[in-house]
Amino acid sequence: MPTRPGTPRLLRQLNDRAALELLLSSGPLTRAELGEYTGLSKVTAGQLLSRLEERDLVTVVGEQAGGRGPNAALYGVVPSCAYVVGLDVLPDRISAGVADITGTLVAEVSADPSGHDDPVRLVRSAVSQACESAGIGADRLRAFVIGTRGVVDPCTGDVRFSFDLPSWHNGVLAELRRDLGVPVTIENDVNLAALAERAYGAALGVDDFVLVWAGVGQGLGVMLGGRLHRGFTGGAGEIGWLPVPGEPLPTDVSEPQSGSFQRLVGGDAVTGLANAHGIGIGSPSGASGASGGDSDAGSVGNYVRTAVTEGAEAFLDELAGRLAVGVAAVAVVLDPGLIVLSGDVGRAGGDALAARVQDAVARFCPSQPRVVVSRVKGNPVLRGALVSALHQAREQVFSDTV
């Protein structure tokens, strides 16, 4: 395989990239500190910083007092040198966020997609609102990642199938790229939640873990060796279809709620379990209570939240036992060591539910993984979309500094 020769230009690019990454992760830094951490001489570090300043990528952000002599200038990455957009697309809500190159969220908006079936128009409108809120033009955007429910084809990048978003079909990705003029990526929402968990949450820095999304629908984000595992067709993690003892096998896989594990722990199952244990939810959630049979995401989470608040141990034990069936099946195949509970049910159950799932799994799983609740604040799908978009944007900006 041919290799690129170690030309001065290439070496400068590598040094610049290393310095920018270091300033993002550990900055601000002085010229001497940058030279120490990168192994560059003070002269080379100074030339590097001058080069990056000329490209408006770094700037002096303060001073560091020293001993004798003038204070040393502190350098940091210019936050406004690039922006990215992340979206979380649901049937009843689109959330859009704008972050600068440092990862700081500068704007977040939500829009109601009701009555609008054209994905391109919906996305364009949400992006326009987010950019307006951030006070930037769309021409400042470097990358754009959309999180959706459904299976994303790993070859084409298009949504291969989404029951909740039927208008998101093959060809939408190309239309979005033409319309927005920005690199656009579509990703499964649970995969993005896993990226957020590794960047900001309970799996911070962990290379091998599994995120179990428990809610009205079930999903799995698999991180192996620090990389998302999407599977041959993009369907890795569709845990709702997992066959489980005592639940019928589906007769029609086009029916999204017919999977065995989905029947065991899905929205209807949690609502029924709450009814059986006499758990109701009050008016703050807008739901009608235990007898209403409401299985939307908010009310399902509120049943679980109420159970935790009221100390409904029997309900939590049974729910944990059901979730443990899926967790154990994943653990014996992948042996990830860490399982993170997320989704509306997982987050509502908190540490109380996670501890019960861990205990239940330990009874019939030899690997006995640690089970914890998500620690990501805010919308995990949106935050994961921004993580992915930032990675792409930094590749663009930081790889072409010379």
Structure confidence at residue 69 (pLDDT): 66
Structure confidence at residue 6 (pLDDT): 53
> Which residue has 């500068």 as its token pair?
106
As a whole number of angstroms, the distance between CA 243 and CA 96 comes to 36
Q: Which residues contact 78 (CB under 8 A, 6 or more apart)?
A: 56, 57, 58, 59, 101
Beta strands in 230-363 (DSSP E): 338-342
What's the token pair of residue 97? 């966020």
Give the type of residue at 286.
Answer: G
As a whole number of angstroms, the distance between CA 295 and CA 307 comes to 16
What's the token pair of residue 306? 């109420």
Structure confidence at residue 100 (pLDDT): 96
What's the token pair of residue 20? 């920018």
Beta strands in 247-286 (DSSP E): none
As a whole number of angstroms, the distance between CA 118 and CA 350 comes to 37
As a whole number of angstroms, the distance between CA 292 and CA 283 comes to 12
Q: What is the DSSP string of 308-328?
A: HHHT-HHHHHHHHHHHHHHHH
Torsion, CA 230, CA 234, CA 238, CA 244, rounded to 10: -90
Return the CA Rg of the chain. 24
Cβ-defined contacts of 127-131 (< 8 Å, 24+):
127/85, 127/87, 127/96, 127/180, 129/96, 130/85, 130/96, 130/97, 130/98, 131/85, 131/98, 131/107
DSSP letter assigned to residue 291: G
C-beta separation of 182 from 144 below 8 A: yes
DSSP letter assigned to residue 104: -
Predicted structure pTM score: 0.89
CA atoms within 13 A on the CB side of 300: 23
Torsion, CA 359, CA 365, CA 366, CA 370, rounded to 10: -50
Structure confidence at residue 295 (pLDDT): 35
C-beta separation of 127 from 85 below 8 A: yes
- Mean pLDDT of successive 10-residue segments in the chain (402 residues)? 61 86 90 89 88 92 78 92 94 94 95 83 92 94 93 89 80 90 92 97 95 94 95 91 88 80 94 93 40 52 95 96 96 95 96 97 92 96 97 86 59
Structure confidence at residue 65 (pLDDT): 80
Give the type of residue at 13.
Answer: Q
Residue 208: other Cβ atoms inside 10 A: 15
54 three-class SS:
helix
What's the token pair of residue 195? 């990226």
C-beta separation of 369 from 341 below 8 A: no
